[in-house]
Every structure is written in C-alpha cells, then in structure tokens.
A and B are shown apart, each in its own frame.
Chain A
C-alpha cells in the first residue's frame, strides 16, 4: 500500500504524523483511506501506560493484509478486519471499516426505526453501538470532514434516544427483579439486581448527555464527571456505586434507596 493522496490537513497539536507513521511503515494505511481516527481511552485523554492504541481506518474497499484478524458484525460484509502490532511496548490495534458499513449502521438508527416495533436494545449490536459512540470523541488523523459529517448524522439520528431507552428498559427490568427478590426474602440477589439497575439507570443519564459507551462500564465514573448531570452529583453516585450506606444486617433500605434513585433518573431523562 502506498501513502494516500487526499489526506485532510491535520491540526498541529494532534501530532498526527506520530500516529500515522507507524502505520505507514507497516504498509497499513491503504490508498483508498477516507478517514482515520484514534478512538477509546487515548482519544478521551483517559489512557494509562498500559492502554492499547486503537485506531479506526475507513476505506472504500475491503482491506486484505497478510495477517489480519476479523470480527463478525451484523453488516454487509459481515466483518471488520483488524491488524495488531507492538511498538515501544504499546499494543496498536488498527480496525478497518468500509465506508458503507458506517452508512449501514447510521441507517439503522433512523427515527422511523426508533418509533417502530423493534426493541431499542436490538437495533444495534454492542459492537456497532460502541463503534458509533466512538465517533463522538475520536481524535481525527485523516478525513476530518468525513468524520464531522458522520458525527452530524449521528446527532440528527435517533441514536441518543435508542440507547437511552435501551438503558432505561434494562434498569426497569433489574429494578423489577430487585423488588421481587426483596419480597421473596432473597436479599443478596436483590442487592445484585439493585446494583445492576443503578448501573443501567446511570448509563441512561450519561447517554442523555451524549456520554455514550455503556458497554464499557469501567469508564462510567469518567463519563459521569464529563457529563456532570444536574440530577445526581458525582459524590452521591459514587457513594451508591461503592455501597457506602449498605448495611449487611439489613440490605432492604439500601436496595430501596437505590431503586428510588433509579426512578428519579427515569423521571428526568428525556427520551426524545
């Protein structure tokens, strides 16, 4: 593969060359590259010394390298290919998307689909949802205009409503479990269900603020701080998440307080 010819102009502070050179040196940047962007923790500034470098490369033709892996996707073609290499002790994972695969994912999150009969949680696969969400906070390397145009389509789509309603539904299911388990005296199970309800309810709150990424709960505190929702302070959220008020002798008050917070969130999170 050779260096592409219609490269977008990078902004100086992004050190774009530092990101792209390792790919070019390994012939991993196809001629028909439309866009390339850093995603994940690095793009958000949340990385640590052990973080992988994840880069999405969007092309018009399917990439076929000598050592690629493929991940299944409910798209046409039904896979994305990726390459992994190591440099300076860092693991780099390059995922190759076809432009039409992004178009297909964006087509799935139309308002017609949202108001149709498909359950919100089944419109996108977790990997599709995560991939679209990563667009929002990516670090562009090539094709900034393409990325901005897709972000705009994402903003105009029903994506936010779809993921919010999905998370609220999961929170409701877990809350119902918790209440039933409380009534039956299965208190430990009720605690676990309440924790699950809290996670989904908080996810809905963060998603409503455009902080997506619910399939990676490890980042929930960071997303919470970034969203800074008025409905719930971080201190209160963290006290619940870490079960600070939990009394092992009687879990019921803790479970009920958590479920009350979940309902408070549902009342205040806009779904349209």
Chain B
C-alpha cells in the first residue's frame, strides 16, 4: 500500500483535552500539545480519511505546496503512531 493510501485513526484510550482551542494529549506521563496544523492532522485522523485526504485538507486550509505537505503529514502521523497516539487501519477505509 502506498503511503498516501494508508488510513490513520486516533487510538482509543488516549486521553485528549481541548485547552484554549489547542489539544493536549496524554502520552504516558507526558503531555503532547498539538496546535494549528498538528491539531488539524490529528483531528482528521478519523479512520476514514487516507493520508492523501489529510494532505488535501491541510493544503486547502493553509494554501500550501502539496508535495511539501505530503511528506510532513506522513512523517508526523508516523511519529504519532510511534507514540501510540494514532494507529493504522489495516482494512479498507470506511466510505
């Protein structure tokens, strides 16, 4: 499966709080703060959007270069997956 076709989903059981518009995520004993584009990516990881869809969401919101955004989004989601904050959906995206 190509990177863009992967489907990320926010992992259940992860504690999330919205504080003054930003997100604070509990990762073990630490707190991960997500603002702006990071928050948008996390919120978009709903188990239906593919990485390519999330890239399109970010590009539309920030009027950014798709090629540049694509790598950043993918890297960021891989980082979140490594922390257990998101997980990759194995099956086909829910449409």
Instruction: Using CB atoms and an 8 Å cutoff, list the residues of chain A in contact with chain B.
Output: 165, 168, 172, 175-176, 179, 256, 259-260, 263, 266-272
CB closest chain-B residue, reference A208:
B18
* B43 adjacent to chain A (CB < 8 Å): yes
Q: Decide if B31 is an interface residue (CB 8 Å cutoff).
A: no
8 A Cβ contacts from B24-41 to A:
none
Number of A-B residue pairs at CB separation under 8 A: 37
> Which chain A positions have C-beta within 8 A of B14?
263
How many Å from the CB of B10 to the closest CB on chain A?
6
> Looking at chain A's contact residues, is the secondary structure mostly helix, strand, loop, or mixed?
helix
Binding site for A on B (CB under 8 A): 10, 12-21, 23, 43, 47
Identity of the chain A residue whose Cβ is nearest the Cβ of B18 in the assembled complex: A270
A175 to chain B, nearest CB (A): 6
A272 touches B19 (CB 8 A): yes
A272 to B23, CA, bound (A): 12
- Please give me the residue from chain B that is nearest to A165 by CB atom: B17
Q: A267-B16, A270-B20 are in contact. List 4 more A-B contacts (CB 8 A).
A: A263-B16, A266-B16, A267-B23, A272-B20
Given contact pairs A165-B17, A271-B17, A271-B18, A263 touches B23 in the complex (Cβ within 8 A): no
Asked whether, in the complex, the Cβ of A256 is within 8 Å of the Cβ of B12, the reply is: yes
Whether the pair B21, A175 counts as a contact (CB closer than 8 A) is: no
Offer 29 A-B interface pairs, CB within 8 angstroms, sorted by A. A165-B17, A172-B15, A175-B12, A175-B13, A176-B13, A179-B12, A179-B13, A256-B12, A259-B12, A259-B13, A260-B12, A263-B10, A263-B14, A266-B15, A266-B16, A266-B17, A267-B10, A267-B16, A267-B18, A267-B43, A268-B18, A270-B18, A270-B19, A270-B20, A270-B21, A271-B17, A271-B18, A271-B19, A272-B20
Q: Give Cα distance in the complex from A259 to B18, angstroms.
A: 17
* 10 shortest interchain CB distances as A-B pairs: A179-B13, A259-B12, A266-B16, A172-B15, A270-B18, A271-B17, A272-B20, A267-B16, A176-B13, A272-B19
Q: In the assembled complex, which residues on chain A have CB atoms less than 8 Å from the CB atom of B10?
A: 263, 267
Separation of A55 and B21 alpha carbons in the complex (Å): 39
Task: Give the docked Cα–Cα distance between A256 and B23 (Å).
Answer: 22
